[in-house]
């Protein structure tokens, strides 16, 4: 199975566990680490709406819990035309992924489009104190 297929199947299973009773919009995310671990996340909503967590954010929390910090590939899945990560999640992905890392966007059937991290977040924030 190719790495994209593995990410696809992982995101699909994760999406089925999403807790999205308010939006009814379930999202699954899967990350591959540089060392080859596959890590999943799903969105978890809350009655206090802003407290909800995106699938990508959940996957990144699981990444850290797994003792990993280097993302090599990402796949995000939703039953949508093109569920690209929200602005905040782009910055979260950037924290652990190089500019060339691929972010695949899939619907329930197939990958619809692939971006690099740099394409999704040009000029993303980097913490550089005075130079
Ligand atoms: N959502 C994600 O989990 N990831 C995305 O890339 C876009 C949006 C979630 C947040 C919320 O639970 C629901 O989808 C609708 O916005």
Residue among 118, 115, 106 nearest 6 (CA): 106
What pLDDT, in 10s, does the model give residues 90-105? 999 999 999 999 999 9
- 56 domain residue, yes or no: yes
Select which of 56, 70, 73, 110 is catalytic.
56
Give the Å distance between the CA of 25 and the centre of ligand 1: 7
User: To the nearest 10°, the Cα dihedral for 70, 1, 13, 55?
Assistant: 30
> In angstroms, rounded to a whole number, what is the distance separating the alpha carbons of residues 44 and 78?
14
Query: What is the residue range of 58's domain?
Result: 3-120
> In angstroms, rounded to a whole number, what is the distance separating the alpha carbons of residues 115 and 15?
21
- 28 domain residue, yes or no: yes
- 105 domain residue, yes or no: yes
CATH, residue 71: 3.40.140.10
**CA nearest ligand 1 atom 14, residue:** 25
- 127 domain residue, yes or no: no
* Catalytic (active site) residue 68: no
- The total of structural domains in the chain comes to 1
- 91 domain residue, yes or no: yes
- 131 domain residue, yes or no: no
Mark out the alpha helices in 1-131 (DSSP H runs). 3-16, 55-65, 87-96, 117-120
Taking only the tens of pLDDT, the chain with its 131 residues reads 899 999 999 999 999 999 999 999 999 999 999 999 999 999 999 999 999 999 999 999 999 999 999 999 999 999 999 999 999 999 999 999 999 999 999 999 999 999 999 999 999 999 998 87
How crowded is the C-beta side of 8, counted as CA atoms within 13 Å?
Answer: 16
């Amino acid at each position: 199975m190719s790495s994209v297929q593995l990410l696809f199947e992982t995101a699909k299973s994760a999406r089925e566990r999403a807790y999205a009773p308010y939006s009814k919009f379930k999202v699954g995310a899967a990350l591959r680490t540089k060392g080859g671990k596959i890590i999943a996340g799903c969105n978890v909503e809350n009655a206090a709406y802003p407290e909800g967590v995106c699938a990508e954010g959940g996957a990144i929390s699981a990444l850290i819990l797994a003792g990993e910090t280097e993302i090599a590939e990402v796949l995000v899945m939703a039953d949508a035309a093109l569920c690209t990560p929200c602005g905040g999640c782009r910055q979260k992905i950037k924290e652990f992924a190089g500019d060339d890392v691929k972010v695949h966007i899939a619907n329930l059937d197939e990958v619809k489009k692939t971006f690099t991290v740099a394409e999704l977040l040009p000029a993303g924030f980097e913490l550089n104190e005075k130079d």
